[in-house]
Amino acid sequence: MAGKIPQTFIDDILVRVDIVDLIDSYVPLKKAGSSYVARCPFHTEKTPSFAVTRSKQLYHCFGCGAGGNAITFLMEHGHLGFVEAVEDLADFVGVQVPRESGSAPIKKNNVTEVYQLLEQAASFYIDQLRDNEAAKVAVDYFKSRGLTGEVAREFQLGYAPDSWDALSKQFKPQALIEAGLAVAKENGSTYDRFRGRVIFPIRDRRGRVIGFGGRVLDDSLPKYLNSPETSVFHKGREVYGLYELLSKNSKPERIVVVEGYMDVIALAQFGLGYSVATLGTATSKDHLELLFRFSSELVLCFDGDKAGKAASWRAVESALPCLRDGRQVRIMQLSTGVDPDNLVREEGLEAFESRVSSAQTLSDYFFERLSQGLNLSDMEGRASLVSKARGYLEKLPNGIFQDLMQDKLKSLSKIEKLEFYPKATTLKSQRYRQSQADKKLSPMRVVVSLLLQNPEFIEVIEQKEINWAVVNLAGVDLLRQVLEIIAQHPNINQSQLVESFRGQESEKYINIMMNHDFLIPELGLKDEFSGAIDRLLQQGRDGRFLELNAKQQVEGLSDAELQELRNLINNPK
Ligand SMILES: [Zn+2]
């Protein structure tokens, strides 16, 4: 079982990775002075306010405030959990994530048990397909679809016996319910969810079974049944067949998105190993973002009936915000009632692949669909097209593709001067506003920010021999925490420093302060820092003076306090 990821590994990987290379592989960066900039991937903008700094190993957006280190970027950008982000980062650097074994594994949680149970159930269904007499119908079904044993093994196909308790009599009922494998009855007893069906295990991209799909072998309904949402299965974020696809090719030129399990398997059987299926849900932005991590071209394949047409338009709507430069979505609309499974069987791989590579571009599909029923040779038709399209085009990430789509709308509507955005603020004006705001920062803010950005400045503080216990100011606890971390790790870099606050309440402030740009020349920074500490200590003394003074009048002071007050009066600075 996987244990905790050692902190030393996380520190090490943050040293090995170059955040500029990492982010550049997701969002193309341009060099600008000492940092790299791009239009922010986390909010829509016309001019770049997203900056990545190699010396700090951090990124920051002046527009929306997003910021952090390489791990934060992967978490935010890929909607990943912390552990997944660390694993992805390790992949990127090309190292294996070690796990602490023995003494202190992470609390064995429910999720781990759910994964184990799903794995056991998958093995059970596979064994049933092989050994159970009653599974002959399932074997016949697969054979009738032309599947070989090899493909059946690759996709771990199985059979759920037509029984109410095949699983329920072997496993704990509560665990089966949590894994989505059993259904609770009102009287408290449970029964198996999948009965008398061929079984398609759904695996995440790391190969773990997260749920199942099941298809009936007779005319009963529903024809297809999926696991419900569980702690490990989220239909809106997972696709069927991705693990199998990636085990054959980790960087496919394109990925074909189809609607059913059997489509994926039939295509694989015929030699097209780069398709995946959504799990009975509409194609979502999360699905597309997931797939774009592995390929820059997605071909969405839909049935030509009314439902298929509606689904393809919804998919295009989901795709628009994902279409950064370099990414492409194409639409492959089949004839009514035809699915990829049948089609590849009838016309063979070559003809099918030529349909894939000649599928309609998203822009053609988009304008064709929006122009339906409009007469573009009259002004009303063109105005109507503009009003329908404008909102969609504004959802596109900024870039050449957006420019081209806007140009196309201008040309179709014959309106040359279409304005798409209110005037954007420039990075320069943002920086000016910030430099004005700098002047209003509290000394504590300045000290913590500069210390985070220059951990070596700790020596300035050490020279001053400060008694922090009597400095009673907002933020002093955080400052002391930062000081303690730096004292313990004298060579800590900024990215690691940010990491040590992950999950804490102060994480957000640490990020903001880490990225605060002081616009002070490098050489003046240390003096600024020293001056801010003096101002901060003065504030502390003033505060303490008022505090002791007030206490003296109300309840009197101890001898030590009295001495402290005298010192403050004699040495006001
Ligand atoms: Zn932003």
The kind and range of the H/E element at 133 are none
Answer for the pair 200, 212: CB distance below 8 angstroms, yes or no.
yes
CA nearest to 61, candidates 48, 72, 74: 48
How do residues 124-137 score in pLDDT, each as one tens digit?
999 999 999 999 99
How do residues 231-248 score in pLDDT, each as one tens digit?
888 888 889 999 999 888
Give the Å distance between the CA of 327 and the centre of ligand 1: 20
Give the Å distance between the CA of 500 and the centre of ligand 1: 23
Give the Å distance between the CA of 428 and the centre of ligand 1: 16
Show which of 226, 250, 269 is a domain's final residue. Answer: 226
**pLDDT tens track, the chain, 573 positions:** 456 788 888 888 887 888 988 998 888 888 888 789 999 988 888 888 899 988 888 999 888 888 899 999 998 887 778 888 898 888 787 777 877 654 433 334 567 788 899 999 999 999 999 999 999 999 999 999 899 999 999 999 999 999 999 999 999 998 999 999 999 888 888 999 999 999 999 998 778 899 999 999 988 888 889 999 888 888 888 899 999 998 888 789 999 999 889 999 999 999 999 999 998 788 888 899 889 888 889 999 988 888 888 889 999 998 998 888 788 999 999 988 888 999 999 999 999 999 999 999 999 999 999 999 888 888 888 888 998 898 888 888 877 888 889 889 988 988 877 776 543 444 555 555 555 556 667 888 889 999 998 998 999 988 888 888 778 788 888 999 999 999 988 888 888 888 889 888 888 888 888 877 776 677 778 888 998 898 888 888 888 888 888 888 888 888 888 888 888 887 766
Q: What are phi and psi of 477, to 5 degrees?
A: -65, -40
Give the Å distance between the CA of 51 and the centre of ligand 1: 9
Give the Å distance between the CA of 62 and the centre of ligand 1: 7
Q: Tokens 């009597």 — which residue?
A: 470
Give the Å distance between the CA of 67 and the centre of ligand 1: 9
Structural domain contains residue 164? yes
DSSP string, 349-410: HHHHHHHHHTPEEHHHHHHHHHHTT--TTSHHHHHHHHHHHHHHHHHSPSSHHHHHHHHHHH
Report residues near ion ligand 1: CB below 5 Å. Answer: 40, 42-43, 61, 63-64, 66
**Angle of helix 379-395 relative to helix 400-413, nearest 10 degrees?**
170
Give the Å distance between the CA of 397 and the centre of ligand 1: 12
Does one domain contain both 142 and 254? no
Give the Å distance between the CA of 247 and the centre of ligand 1: 35
Furthest-apart CA atoms within the chain: distance in Å: 98
Q: What is the CATH number of the domain that holds 297?
A: 3.40.1360.10
In the chain, how many domains are there?
4
Give the Å distance between the CA of 49 and the centre of ligand 1: 7
Show which of 60, 93, 126 is a domain's final residue. Answer: 93
Does one domain contain both 495 and 456? yes
Q: What are phi and psi of 66, to 5 degrees?
A: -60, 145
Residue type, 131: D
Range of the domain at 506: 441-570
Give the Å distance between the CA of 269 and the centre of ligand 1: 44
Structural domain contains residue 389? no
Report the distance separating Cα 210 and Cα 510, nearest Å: 36
* Residue 222 preceded by cis peptide, ω within 30: yes
Give the Å distance between the CA of 72 and the centre of ligand 1: 14
Give the Å distance between the CA of 357 and the centre of ligand 1: 35
Give the Å distance between the CA of 512 and the centre of ligand 1: 13
Kindly report the pTM of this predicted structure: 0.61
- Parallel, antiparallel or unpaired: strands 58-61 and 67-68: antiparallel
Structural domain contains residue 433? no
Residues whose CB is less than 8 angstroms from the CB of residue 361 and which lie 6 or more positions away in sequence, other chains included: 328, 330
How many other C-beta atoms are found inside a 10 Å radius of the C-beta of residue 314? 13
What's the residue count for the chain?
A: 573
Give the Å distance between the CA of 518 and the centre of ligand 1: 19
pLDDT of res. 438: 60
